[in-house]
Amino acid sequence: MNILFIGDIFGSAGRRIVREHIGHVREAHNVDLTIANVENAAGGFGVTPAIAEEIFALGADVLTTGNHVWDKKELIDYLNSVPPQSAERPRRVLRPANFPLGSPGYGVYEGVTASGVDYAVIQLQGRVFMTPIDDPFRTADSFFASIRAKVIVVDFHAEATSEKAAMGWYLDGRVTAVLGTHTHVPTADERILPGGTAYQTDVGMSGPYDSIIGVEKDLVLHKFLTAMPGKFEAAKGNPKMCAALVACDPATGRATAIQRIALGE
Ligand SMILES: [Fe+2]
Ligand SMILES: [Fe+2]
């Protein structure tokens, strides 16, 4: 079974490059399950219902987000528009599971692929150099008693490499993959951990690389040079789709291979 995980889609340039490549990558690698992080898909800040629908229409099965999830407030009504048991698209947009109790939406989705394999996607967010929220490690533990699927993919949306590596080792042997998002730079450490979990510290952004992590360079430089507030705008230049391809045994959920991909224009 093959899983395609697309890193943070950033702005219109990110959506365009994903539109260009997602189809042929899914076909060439016989992808059974496609997951995309969309926390920056709407101009760099959050995701709207219309953009979520657009990315589902390209072939994504589950969308994950992160710290930018509430940037577009219309997303809240979209997430709330279906009951928890639903398999409709709004239920397949996740926010980090360790957000405070009572947050809108869900951090876990359990589904079935077209070929009949049960899977689960869990999203967690780190706490190092980020807004402190509930413990992502204990939150992960809390799901394993109830999830039936063997194939489990974790999007760990975190800033610190150490916290991400810790999560990889913590969940090794319990999930199919721990894939990092949020820092927007792909790391060259993809591997299969000894327990059979595919790991990559950060899958990288699917967006404009002539930028400072997605944002127009001049605007970020101005902020660093003057410490003045300013409006950030999504850059456009040099877009790449960064993703991880994970192969696994659907019977056990153990990963057998992980490959990093970066596709430009
Ligand atoms: Fe991001
Ligand atoms: Fe983020």
- Nearest-angstrom CA–CA distance, 190 and 188: 6
**β-bridge pairing 239-248 and 207-208:** antiparallel
Residue-level pLDDT at 115: 94
Q: What is the three-class DSSP state of 114?
A: coil
Q: Give buried/exposed letters for 249-262 (b at 16+ CB in 10 A, else e).
A: ebeebbbeebebbe
Closest ligand to the CA of 6: 1
Closest ligand to the CA of 70: 2
- Taking a C-beta distance cutoff of 8 angstroms, is the pair 47, 93 a contact? yes
Closest ligand to the CA of 207: 1
What is the distance in A from the centroid of ligand 2 to the CA of 154? 15
What is the distance in A from the centroid of ligand 1 to the CA of 174? 26
Q: What is the three-class DSSP state of 111?
A: strand
Say which CATH superfamily domain 2-263 falls into.
Answer: Metallo-dependent phosphatases (3.60.21.10)
* Residues in the chain with pLDDT values less than 50: none
What is the distance in A from the centroid of ligand 1 to the CA of 128? 16
Residues whose beta carbons lie less than 5 angstroms from ion ligand 1:
8, 39-40
Q: What is the three-class DSSP state of 163?
A: helix
Residue-level pLDDT at 140: 98
Active site residue ranges: 68
What is the distance in A from the centroid of ligand 1 to the CA of 170? 23
What is the distance in A from the centroid of ligand 1 to the CA of 72? 14
What is the distance in A from the centroid of ligand 1 to the CA of 31? 24
Closest ligand to the CA of 131: 2
